[in-house]
Structure 1
């Protein structure tokens, strides 16, 4: 007995020598519960006699709860029920054990930890995962996790190499608030473990906008002001997250973006764009998106994170077709139809939904050749296409406005974008159909004007078109109120369906306006050379059997 007591005294003296301010740091802090059980600031958690075996002289009764643990489709760690020091923390913080209950037989019942952020309950699915082995093998499997050897000395794993509550929290020291082991300004703690691709150069890592201005009580009460200072915490909560999977502030994915991108924090108001006639309707879908989904088989939906990677987004411009900064780091589908984790070109983002996915949107125009796979429509093997994936095949386009040439390439978003002349850009919402940036009439008997075909006339000179520089009958057709779309399919005609004879110059007739020639039964355009061709059709009661030009 004397030997055991001597060892205990020795250990206490060593502890006091190594950390002489420990008691002083607890006194007066939220962990000073001496008023609840009496005695010193230490005695609420610790006892020199009758402590739980294998613990740091632990005195508080442990919880017998079975916890709902954190789960995620992108989680590589093997997370089970809490172990080690985390069970000690949860003996108070899960709210199931009265504060006065002790392994020494103290009074049962009485007060429990008060409701609030400190009472995390038995549902840990909305809390950062704990009690898993943080190994080199884990960081090898998940390349966005740093190896344990790279962790700062403040972040300690337990003797079994498991990450516990005490990896991030020091219950004896509240110097940094919330008993954190180090400051989390700029998310120093988060990025010590999470090595996210693109984060260091991202806009969210450097923004000086005030996050506290967001419609978000969590950010409003946080000690840091700017998005840069909050960094990860601008979107994620380590405890009691609204969106359990991936620990987001809100359950609905779009709310985690639009609570800042409504003009309150970010400069532009994307939320108002989402209310326009034509929009990527993120509010329409819930619970369908998953980080690991297959673009070729995903259920039809759209979320902000389908087009934007908040960890890699940058406020930079690029030249078509290279992906612009706001879409960097997003997954996509390549020109060959293969999935890719990080796109190189903007169209690869669009192809996730508008190419091989069987749930892709359908065409608003009934065409002679039906094709809604934009990857095939824009493919360089097609006989005519707008130059999204490669420069166009037609080297004779006199209507192109300078500085555009036949070698110029364009983005999908040059046509599909916000109709706002100032403020938010991108295909979020437009008052024009099909998310077009400018007016593009497709109805028969449309009066020609610079406004009716504003979209076309952004790149193609109206004077050139009306002067018949490329097609001798352009003016005649437009004067008869035949829309551009009656003859031209703006995306392109796939080589799988079209031919070099019949489908150059984006010719693919709208069959609600253009019908087969009653004399020959043919509905065809034939390319007979540069600026020359013949048509077999009937339009506005006029037959072409054929009509040559």
Structure 2
């Protein structure tokens, strides 16, 4: 028995010794576990392989190191035998494996690569130790939390930061997350409408480039899912797939490769301004129009659409001009800001929306066209009136050539219906003058302001029935040199407003408003104009406000006996107009196309030797409107020549003018005329003001007499008798005939 016990102890000792002295290769590793939950994936850990060193009928034995995860291992379950992931993970585009990451990408240590430095499934995924931070439905065995795409950004540095970093913005959006994107696999962030990487990209199973959840190459559907208002760009001139198919963006991509939107915008790696994808023309201060000029330049893809000649001004403050349009304005960096901001500027995209679709008419053209204006159906007048509210009053007037000259054409060969009401006279781009004139100027005038009007108001012009004749109010004169001060606009040699300019057509006329007193009156049905409308800047009837702006002292005639609207309202001037039609001044003076050159006299001449007397006698005659005031005797003895040297200066109290009998021009030696003693525009020489309208009977102290009380010229010849001769000048009973010497 003792011998048997010794044998047992010996064998036990030998077994223990053998176990501790066996080679490491014969020792099973500590990690392998043949339990079912491990061996279901790590089948080489089954005893048959690790202990017995044998294979099976299905799997031959292979001498190998400890197995690591491989794409084949993952697929052995995701092939449909356990979970069918073939459609989502193994078809179409997916995150690359079996290749190294880009050299400039920094891979955190938490994401292992294989022994060749390649990315594998296990780089992002692990079947062990999944964090419980996220639910199993979102965790998908990734190595760290990917809440709001935080895991993506760990490797893809530089893809965040928004437009300031040249990337599409991330985070909460103002617009609603489109349901159609979510239905295609887009993932929103944890906050409402939060944009994250996975909103646009899906790592597994995308049929599109760059792992996008929707097609963005052809019609840029992914971009339009959110930015659907930009869809008007499709098939327009700004769709570079049609108009510049060989051009390339800043990444060297053609429009076909980058997609419709990618020709001008990049989601990542763009210029900071508008995520721009094309080379900007230098380092200009105004970024907004630099975007446009990057194509619209002599070497650009839109070289045939560059601005030639004069264009609408840009980089101006609409706020400073008192304008309040419902249009976008931008700062120097190209950012859209409120109109009331100090930095707000009018720029190219204020009027143009580069994504705007064409009008119904343009859509029928081959190829389709668009002017990209921010208006409905291309009606330019609706855009212009946003800023130029007062100028829009032209609509429906005689200057709206859609009604009065529908067959005429502007400098671009456009009819009024093609150019719209504003484009008839003004071109926003490519105009020949600084005031953007759209009609051909035939004559090179020293002062072009009135030449603008004469492009229509001439023989064979659109307004040939309203041609200005010879006997009209003078233009191209400097009122300051004539001692005249006015608040009406004056114009320089370039046709621009200038305080030291000259009188032109536009001084008295506002071509955009038919009736100065009623902006809502457009003169429908093309009526004949009168002194109350006719595109005048100020009314001439019933009050002479326009004329009085320059001819201040002449406006004192209002409501005196010489205001025929008071004393003879039915009397007509030489054109057959009553004072209601011609105005107070027009009763005696014709501003345009009169029959008499001298003083633009607007009535038939009466009797008398000199032209100044004949003007007075046209009313103060037997059949005239002033026939109740015809003096029995009204002339100074002839050939008694008077010298008024020193008394021929207007404005002085002793002013006593003499006139040439033939021309009415001022002279210093001549006969006395009616206007020598009478100022026909001022009833009382002591009161520089209009009359009262009461038609008082005159005396020797008023009656339109000039102020001569202190130094009458009569006393030069008649001495102390001068006062009586002056008082009874028109009294035939008191006067004695004196024979001529």
| TM-score, with length taken from structure 1 | 0.48
Q: Which gives a bigger RCO, structure 1 or 2 (Cα 8 Å, sep 6+)?
A: 1
| TM-score, with length taken from structure 2 | 0.37
Considering only CA atoms, is the larger Rg found in Structure 1 or Structure 2? 2
